[in-house]
Amino acid sequence: MRRNLLVFLLLTLLPLLASAEQNDLKPIDCTQLMAWIAGGVSTPRLQHLLRERTIGFFPNEATIKLLIRAGAEPVFIRSLRVTKHQQAHVQQSSPRLANWFAKSIMTTPQPPSIR
């Protein structure tokens, strides 16, 4: 009897805890997004993250050009343009930080590709 009650409580409380955790996700900022793109996170995974979370910046043309330089695919850029940004947390992406990050990506030697 006691075991059944414990199992019942676990099965009812765990989904509630999981959903509460998902609601606390912070918006994605421009630096995070650029790092994920440069780090090779796949486009489907990035699109999933955009659907799961909001973005905390407005993707202007300068930001989009930097994301493309970092390696963003056109299909991802289209997804980004239609993604809702969270009004309360919207920040203009820092052009100095984004430019520095883009330059460091372009000047970092890449390992030879394995074919």
Per-residue pLDDT of the chain (115 residues; tens, 9 = 90+): 777 877 776 677 777 666 555 556 788 888 899 999 999 999 999 999 988 888 888 888 998 999 999 899 999 999 888 887 765 444 444 556 566 556 665 555 555 555 4
CA 6-8-13 angle, to 5 degrees, is 95
| Amino acid present at 74 | P
The distance of Cα 25 from the centroid of its chain, to the nearest Å, equals 11
pLDDT of residue 101: 58
Helix (H) or strand (E) holding 115: none
User: Reduced to 3 states, what is the DSSP secondary structure of residue 57?
Assistant: strand
* Tokens standing for residue 104: 């460091």
- Tell me what pLDDT residue 59 has: 86
Domain borders along the chain are: 26-107
